[in-house]
Amino acid sequence: MNNGNTVEITDTLQQKNVVKAGYGQKDVFDLQFPHYNKFIDYVKNRSDKDGVLVAGTYLQYFLDNQHNIKLDGMLDRFREQNSDGNMCKSYQRLRNNNLKYLVIDPNIGTVVMGEGNESLFNRFFAKRDPVTGKIQDDGAISNLVKLRKAGYINLFSTNNL
């Protein structure tokens, strides 16, 4: 049986438990990955040449168009290509690789937290001065923030700022 309970909100803004019969693939997907839907719909008709860089997420398996998807698990390749600190060149590298979309699960950073993972943490986020807290060496995420602040890229959606 594929029955379950859902919570609905009534017209009087009260919660109401309802037995739902017939959970399908879409129901299960929406329970587990609802945050993917906005992007999946947005790129449903993207051109084959428009690249999608995916890091730390299963989203690539749910895209209708499977052309030009690049995986960069911990954003190592992205960080290396943008480590010269030149935002204009960083943006041009993204364009030269036809990368139009970057999909990053911000929770992948939790993989590198803890004792013994400091260098991975620094490469992912940024190496900061322990006294002043200022960035000494940019990581992948701090490079993305700089690209956004400089107006080279746009933030489409996030569940974590």
Please report which residue ranges of 12-139 form alpha helices under DSSP H: 25-32, 37-42, 76-81, 87-96, 118-124
Q: Report pLDDT digits (tens) over 21-69.
A: 887 888 888 888 888 899 999 999 999 999 999 988 889 999 999 999 9
Q: Is the pLDDT of residue 1 over 80?
A: no
Q: Report pLDDT for 159.
A: 63
> Vertex 88, ends 83 and 94: CA angle to 5°?
70
Does the pLDDT at position 20 exceed 70?
Answer: yes
- pLDDT band at residue 112 using 50, 70 and 90 as cut-offs: low
Q: What's the whole-number mean pLDDT along residues 97-114?
A: 80
Is residue 89 pLDDT above 70, yes or no?
Answer: yes
Per-residue confidence band for 161, with pLDDT thresholds at 50, 70 and 90:
very low
Task: Kindly report the backbone phi and psi dihedral angles of residue 76, in degrees, each rounded to the nearest multiple of 5, phi listed first.
Answer: -65, -50
Cβ-based neighbour number of residue 138 at 10 Å? 21
**51: phi then psi, degrees, rounded to nearest 5:** -80, 150
Rounded to the nearest 5 degrees, what angle is found at the Cα of 137, between the Cα atoms of 131 and 139?
Answer: 115
State the chain's mean pLDDT as an integer.
87
What's the whole-model pTM score? 0.76
